Amino acid sequence: MSNILILGGTTEASALAAALAERHAPAVLSYAGRTDRPRAQPVPVRVGGFGGVAGLVRHLRDERVTHLVDATHPFAATMSEHAVAAAREAGVEHIMLTRPSWVAAEGDRWTHVPDIAGAVATLNGSARNVMLALGRMHVDAFAVQPQHHYLLRFVDMPVVAPGLPRHSLVVDRGPFTSDGDIRLMRDHGIDIIISKNAGGSGAQAKLIAARSLGLPVVMIDRPPCPAAQVTHEVSGVLEWLGHAAERGV
Ligand code: NAP
């Protein structure tokens, strides 16, 4: 009998939880606890860090987890590394469910940078209206470029105001549409967009909007992904669970 732990915080994790609930497969969804109002889920939810690799190993053993599905965001690199290491140590099956990266299309004006620091460095120079489509975690890194006016879009209203002298804040959890994002960019006179290469359709609206408006995008490439079995589809995880069951795991 399988006992599944999903590492979540993404649309894919919620879709997998729904698919497993439909099949009455025993699964728990784990959140880091970064958002105030996580979506209601059809499976039990646990919240908070495990306490590093050792804590996750303990959790996997205590809860008799047989299958660990890492459906975290592609930029949640620490959790993904911990998941691979802990699964190996605890003898638990492991798979990553992740969205494919976005790829530039005809008309896109992307500059690739390897990380947040690289994105910050591209903003040297005169004042512009910058859309920072990064979530709230890395916004303060842009305080070293205080000449710009930043448009921020967060899932929740932050408790502490962002540390940027000139900014506008939109609270919205999406999914977003390209028409809505075109309007937003026009309303705020956006000159440039800073984006992580998160992948996925809801968050892609801003890139389609940028293409339509001919705006440049600074694309932060993904951190390296640990060596692991990867699928891009919920059906891939279901298949993997089926195969694993056939092998008697
Ligand atoms: P991270 O840097 O890889 O992880 C930092 C620590 O947070 C981990 O070591 C772990 O703590 C805890 N953690 C992360 N994901 C967890 C989960 N699903 N369940 C329990 N603990 C978790 O991750 P992050 O970039 O801070 O992302 C945190 C969460 O937000 C993830 O669930 C991710 O899917 C979601 N998210 C991230 C981004 C992004 O751009 N990074 C965007 C959207 C959503 P311990 O070491 O104590 O176990």
- Of the pLDDT bands very low, low, confident and very high (cuts 50, 70, 90), residue 85 is very high
Q: Is the pLDDT of residue 244 over 50?
A: no
pLDDT average, residue stretch 188-196? 98
What's the confidence (pLDDT) of residue 246?
A: 46
Helix, strand, coil shares, percent, the chain, to 5: 35, 20, 45
DSSP lists the bridge partners of residue 165 as none
What is the CATH architecture of 109-220? 3-Layer(aba) Sandwich (3.40)
pLDDT average, residue stretch 139-163? 94
Ligand 1 pocket residue status of 163, Cβ below 6 Å: no
In CATH, the number for domain 4-100+224-246 is 3.40.50.720
Q: How far is CA 216 from CA 1, 35, 98, 190, 219, in A?
A: 51, 30, 26, 10, 10
Position with higher pLDDT, 150 vs 1: 150
Q: What is the pLDDT of residues 94-141, one digit of tens each?
A: 999 999 999 999 999 999 999 999 999 999 999 999 999 988 889 999
Ligand 1 pocket residue status of 76, Cβ below 6 Å: yes
Domain with CATH 3.40.50.720 in the chain: 4-100+224-246, 109-220
Nearest to 226 by CA among 104, 13, 79, 62: 79
Protein residue with least CA distance to atom 38, ligand 1: 73
DSSP 5: E
**Distance from the CA of 191 to the center of ligand 1, in angstroms?**
31
pTM over 0.75: yes
Counting residues of the chain whose pLDDT is more than 70, the rounded percentage is 97
**Distance from the CA of 43 to the center of ligand 1, in angstroms?**
19
Ligand 1 pocket residue status of 135, Cβ below 6 Å: yes
Q: Across the beta sheet with 4-7, what order do the strands follow?
A: 45-47, 27-31, 4-7, 67-70, 93-97, 230-231
Tell me which H or E stretch contains 170. strand 167-171
pLDDT average, residue stretch 160-184? 93
What's the confidence (pLDDT) of residue 173?
A: 82
Instruction: Compute the distance between CA of residue 247 and CA of residue 249 in angstroms, rounded to an integer.
Output: 6
What's the confidence (pLDDT) of residue 179?
A: 96
Q: Go through the chain and tell me how many residues it has.
A: 249
What's the confidence (pLDDT) of residue 239?
A: 95
**Distance from the CA of 151 to the center of ligand 1, in angstroms?**
24
The whole-chain average pLDDT of the chain stands at 93
Q: What is the pLDDT of residues 35-66, one digit of tens each?
A: 777 788 999 999 999 999 999 999 999 999 99
